[in-house]
Amino acid sequence: MVTFTQLLALDVRGLDAFVTSWGDVHDRLRNAREHFHDEVVTPLHQDHWRGKAGRAAQSFCDRIQLDIDALDTEVQGLRSFFTGEVDGVKGAGGFTGLRDLQSQAQALRDEGAEDGMTIHDDGSVSFADVYDPNDPGSAAGHKTRQGTADSLEQRVRTVLGKATHEDKWIAQNIKVIFGTPHNFESENRQFDILDPDGTDGRTWNKLNNVGALANARGWVNTAWLIKHYLGASGDPVEIDPLVLLDGVPQFRKDADTTLAQDVAKRPDGPFETPWQTTAPNLSDGGNPDWYYSLNHFQYRMVGEKRGDQVVYRIQIKKRYDWGVPSEHRATQSEGFGPLGITLEQADMAHLNTTGKARDFDVSGTSEPIAATL
């Protein structure tokens, strides 16, 4: 838990300098890679190393370049995370939230000092008060001061609770962004460039079990796409957008919004809306099968408008992969949905790196749809 003293002592300038320093790390990694390529890899190839030793040396150098690129991608992901989400551009939390909470803590400290009260690290509040319990006036005064202390303590604990939440959120995402020694190389989305190890085998088995459990629950699409991923063919998959409209209420809401707020305002003639993101929402009765099989995907409408009449097709697309550390997709710490199997997303993505599974494209185009705007 963040203590009151820690929150007051928060070095705001240090946080800004910390974010800036990652730009320097990125530059140094780029320079290191260029130097390694020019001074080691190029001479190695120019000397035409051949045979088993030559292939091993070239493979080793390629692996080093891959590691540098993976680390650099994660550094850039960390910078994006800090400047975009942590620093409050996408939300009110993170460093911006901690700055605000520090200001609140300072105000509470000053308020307590004015009332002769001490705020302790755990948020509790104490005060020195000598009174005679047999004296009604003295007892009433003590009760008033105790009420003031209780109110102050409640507000301090609320601030510390929020600060602790922000601190844990930042720490967790930093760990996710850098992945683990095993899976950080999954930043490179090339297929089958590393040999699988025991962790890959265990991850494959776990994910295969997830597919079997999903099928037993009737989540046929979840099972189908997992099986296709583990089959490692990489062949594209087609899904009818009309099926998704029926099974994903949020998608239908988003599509109706696009018709009303985009297509309806366009002039007559052919049109093509921008790609937009949608996803199932389990709270509105969305099908959990589509939630666990596709989750987020993109859609657009292509058609022709004449007055208030429109004929269009819906197109959908998604890259089926399991994310990489720099995208800071959190570990499935609660298990794979309600199936109770814990999997690190970057470990699942690493299966593509080792050839035990393969990313693939999901797409689909509906039959023509006629509508009145």
Domain enclosing residue 69, as ranges: 4-178
Could you tell me if residue 186 is inside a domain?
Answer: no
Q: What is the predicted pLDDT for the residue at 71? A: 73
| Alpha-carbon dihedral angle through residues 42, 48, 53, 55, given to the nearest 10 degrees | 70
Say how many Å lie between the first and final Cα of the chain, rounded: 54
Taking the C-alpha atoms of residue 259 and residue 266, their distance in angstroms, rounded to an integer, is 10
Contact 353, 186 (CB under 8 A): yes
Taking the C-alpha atoms of residue 35 and residue 47, their distance in angstroms, rounded to an integer, is 18
Tokens 């002769």 found at:
116
Instruction: Using alpha carbons, select from 302, 301, 303, 305 the residue that is nearest to residue 267.
Output: 305
Q: State whether 163 and 257 are in the same domain.
A: no
Q: What is the predicted pLDDT for the residue at 48? A: 66
Q: State whether 282 and 321 are in the same domain.
A: yes
Could you tell me if residue 188 is inside a domain?
Answer: no
Could you tell me if residue 80 is inside a domain?
Answer: yes
CA-to-CA separations, 160 to 6, 7, 89, 312, in angstroms, rounded: 10, 8, 23, 53
**Final residue of a structural domain among 123, 145, 178:** 178
Helix (H) / strand (E) element for 297: namely strand 297-306
Q: What is the predicted pLDDT for the residue at 118? A: 94
Q: State whether 254 and 151 are in the same domain.
A: no
Instruction: Using alpha carbons, select from 41, 24, 22 the residue that is nearest to residue 33.
Output: 41
Q: State whether 242 and 359 are in the same domain.
A: yes
Tokens 């509105």 found at:
284
Q: State whether 28 and 127 are in the same domain.
A: yes
**Final residue of a structural domain among 150, 178, 206:** 178
Domain count of the fold of the chain: 2
Residue 242, domain CATH: 3.30.450
Q: Would you list the DSSP string of 66-91?
A: HHHHHHHHHHHHHHHIIIIIITTSSS
Phi-psi region of 295 (alpha: psi -120 to 50; beta: other; left: phi over 0): left
Q: State whether 111 and 206 are in the same domain.
A: no
**How many residues are listed for the chain in this entry?**
373
Taking the C-alpha atoms of residue 236 and residue 292, their distance in angstroms, rounded to an integer, is 19
Taking the C-alpha atoms of residue 263 and residue 369, their distance in angstroms, rounded to an integer, is 13
Q: Helix or strand or coil: residue 276? A: strand
Could you tell me if residue 354 is inside a domain?
Answer: yes
Could you tell me if residue 189 is inside a domain?
Answer: no
Q: Helix or strand or coil: residue 269? A: strand
Could you tell me if residue 118 is inside a domain?
Answer: yes
Could you tell me if residue 187 is inside a domain?
Answer: no
Q: What is the DSSP letter of 185?
A: G
Helices (H) and strands (E) in the chain, counts: 12, 9
**Final residue of a structural domain among 178, 211, 243:** 178
Q: State whether 206 and 82 are in the same domain.
A: no
CB atoms within 10 A of CB 291: 19
Q: What is the predicted pLDDT for the residue at 72? A: 76
Q: What is the DSSP letter of 304?
A: E
Q: State whether 21 and 164 are in the same domain.
A: yes
Q: Cα angle at 241 between 236 and 246, to 5 degrees?
A: 135
Tokens 């037993």 found at:
216
Q: Where are the beta strands (DSSP E) in 150-292?
A: 237-238, 269-272, 276-278
Q: State whether 85 and 160 are in the same domain.
A: yes
Low-confidence ranges of the chain (pLDDT < 70): 12, 15, 48, 70, 81, 83-96, 130-133, 172-188, 323-341
Taking the C-alpha atoms of residue 183 and residue 60, their distance in angstroms, rounded to an integer, is 18
Could you tell me if residue 192 is inside a domain?
Answer: no
Whether pTM exceeds 0.75: no
- Type of residue numbered 118: T
Q: State whether 46 and 92 are in the same domain.
A: yes
Q: State whether 131 and 9 are in the same domain.
A: yes
Contact 119, 152 (CB under 8 A): yes
Contacts 24+ apart (CB under 8 A), 96-99: 97/162, 97/166, 98/7, 98/10, 98/15, 98/163, 98/166, 98/167, 99/10, 99/12
**Rg for the chain, CA atoms, rounded:** 28
Phi first, then psi, for residue 49 (nearest 5°) are -60, 130
Q: State whether 275 and 318 are in the same domain.
A: yes
Instruction: Using alpha carbons, select from 142, 145, 152 the residue that is nearest to residue 120.
Output: 152
